[in-house]
Amino acid sequence: MKYFTIAELCKSDTADRKGIDNRCKKEHVTNLTALVDNVLDPLREAYGKPITVNSGFRSPALNKAVGGSATSDHMQGRAADITGGSPAENKKLFNLVQSLCLPFDQLIDEKNFAWVHVSYRSEKENRKQVLKL
């Protein structure tokens, strides 16, 4: 973990505002570390500029509060919503993940590049799904 921390991947303004416990457990830290090591750090290295994590780990209560999917990988610490600061930069991140052949499970253009969702399960479990929502 070179560019990201567990603290930033578990931080949530929504959880703080609503008084929701969003502490990561050991298995979430293990999954978040794999996400960073396999996808986020290599992406940041190639991108050459800071990447902001809008949403990483979500407890079930937080996931429900933000309207996340009932099966969201965020609840397992396997996903992050990221941004380079603008739709144009987010599109660059989205394309860079693919051109670098990073081992993602899902790569999602969220709301015309308002942000990018990227998840990682394991080399064997990754589905390599590229989606647009």
Taking CA atoms, 17 is separated from 27, 60, 69, in Å, by 25, 16, 21
Domains annotated for the chain, with CATH where assigned, are 6-132 (3.30.1380.10)
Mean pLDDT (the chain, rounded): 97
Cα diameter, the chain: 40
- Provide the whole-model pTM: 0.95
- Taking only the tens place, the pLDDT of each residue in 41-88 is 999 999 999 999 999 999 999 999 999 999 999 999 999 999 999 999
Q: Which of 102, 5, 92 is nearest to 49 (CA)?
A: 92
pLDDT at 40: 98
- Region of 117 (left: φ > 0; alpha: ψ -120 to 50; beta: rest) is beta
pLDDT at 27: 95
The DSSP element (H or E) to which 60 belongs, if any, is: helix 60-65
